[in-house]
Structure 1
Amino acid sequence: MNRRTAAASWPEREALHAWLREARGELTFVQLAKRSAEAGRPVSERTLRRALEVRLPKEGTVRAYAGAWEKWASAKNTRDEAGQAAFGSAFEARGLELLSLAVSAAPAGPAPSWPPPTYVPGRIGKWTSLTKALKHIHEEAGQPSARRLAASPKAAGRLSKSTIRNILNGKHPTFEQLAALLEVYGASPKTTSGMLAAYRRIVPVPEPPTVSLCDVVERAESEREARLVQEETRLRYRGIEPEPEVELDWYEEQVRDAREAEWQRLERWVDSLSDEELAALNQQAAAAAGRDLRRELIKARDRLGEASGTPPAG
């Protein structure tokens, strides 16, 4: 590690790099790139190498490391396909969490040298209009280069200069990319709110989950109860009186945590919807099966707390 990289280190970044080294194991970067491609997450050898050298990697690079690790782990154990998938999901979720913590805790760099945009777009409903509004914001900020924007601390691990350049040239960004770019510009709250509202008008509202959120927790409870019954039967057959409660081992906890992360992702998805979008979805769900998304989330959270022995959130 060179002096410049070492000077830019902080605890959360070191924790992320420790995870990256664990995911790499004893693989060369050539082998790591090959495994990540086999996992359906192709990333170049150079990008994988730089993840351990630059300030912070991008989310796609972290996912590539996780995919390569899962390919290695699946060849070293005898778990069934579902168990291996949950195990790999938990490992990847940990890496993404460490990346998020590292980005949040990154030392503040120098303030951007461009004026913060205050332009508020009108009611945009087309991609061309969104790109035009984004160029207006870019001009208001003094037309900083994509390199300067990508070098901003707020872009670290989220936006590269090529991504920024492509978006400004008309490529459709994801919601996360647009939000990150507006944050890099230092756009005013009204500017950010107007642009993100325009994005939601352009991009179709996703359909509600086909599987009830409660099903995730109920499935976890059923599997847990089945394991307990099997363990009690085995012990009684050997003449041993089972304990009142069998604690989950490390692997089972990882599986449970992966399922918990899944319904939390769904909870964040519902919370991200506007009141109008949520009302429209609830009308569709009620017409189909009498569902209420927020009520299901509350039930799922309470039942998960009962399954893990944790009291429900207030």
Structure 2
Amino acid sequence: MTGTVLDPSAPARIVGPEMPGATVDTREAFARLTEEYPDENVEAARHAFLMSKLHLVRTHPDVELADRERVVTAMAERLELGYEAMRTPVPGGVGYGVYYNEVFKRAFATGTALGWDIICPSAPGGNVDDYLYVTAMNRAVLGVEAFVSYYAQTPPRFKVYDWARPATPWQLDIPLSSLGPYLRTVASHGEIFQVMGVTNTTVEVASGTWRNEVQLWNASTGNQDLVYQFDYAATLAQQTAADYNGSWGPIVETFQTAYAGTIPLGGLAISLVTRDVNGNWGPWGLLPWYNSYIRTDNVGFYVQFLDPNYNFSVKS
């Protein structure tokens, strides 16, 4: 496998022979692409996204049965969803993916960052006729999801949802076909995958002020491009709360009861870095099995390979 991911505020995470280049601010260009290529079903897509999160809370293995409805209700209120929406059943869940152990999820003080290569084919194939995500968070409760979204067999989209701004829809929402420089192919376990290198960071930039950032690795220029940034008021207690948000690493998030015939999806070189109470970033490290566990909701996906727990590919 080859590839490079560089977080501009943390030490470089290098995977493979390439050297990281300069960081380039491309936020205006990405905001413009979101305006130029709108999703016609943006409200329906956001509703499906939020309903799926409620479903994942209800089925989260670390949420006690007695607490689930309380957690679901609190989350629905925060997201301004009505009572009926809370009771609507949602199929699917987690086709396969990585969740952080509770201790590791909360083990940062002034910043956390996740870097990984999303395995993202140009179509999911198989019987996909609803939404299907390859998504992740960086442990922070108010962090972002920067992910690839599939809907049936239509062209996939790259989206950013900021949990510090839950009342608004996607901050970025761009067809993958418009992001050619950020797509490349890598080899792993004898197969060739199309991937997108994504880093998302949540960091305290001043006392009580946190920043969410998303960067994409530009394979054509050798630069790490800053595509999204947002500053907001928060506390460390909010960012590291014993909350469902932030608990999932890279996962294949599903919306159907069963899948068959899909093309491989997953994540490669899943790495994290932690910033301590003094503002010092530690080294990047591949996500180990002892800080995480695998969740699968048995909707038809099976494992092609798993390097615990920093590389995985699944298909149905």
The two structures have a TM-score, normalised by structure 1, of 0.23
Point out the structure with the larger helix share.
Answer: 1
Larger radius of gyration: 1
Point out the structure with the larger strand share.
Answer: 2
User: Which of the pair has the greater relative contact order for Cα pairs under 8 Å at 6+ separation?
Assistant: 2
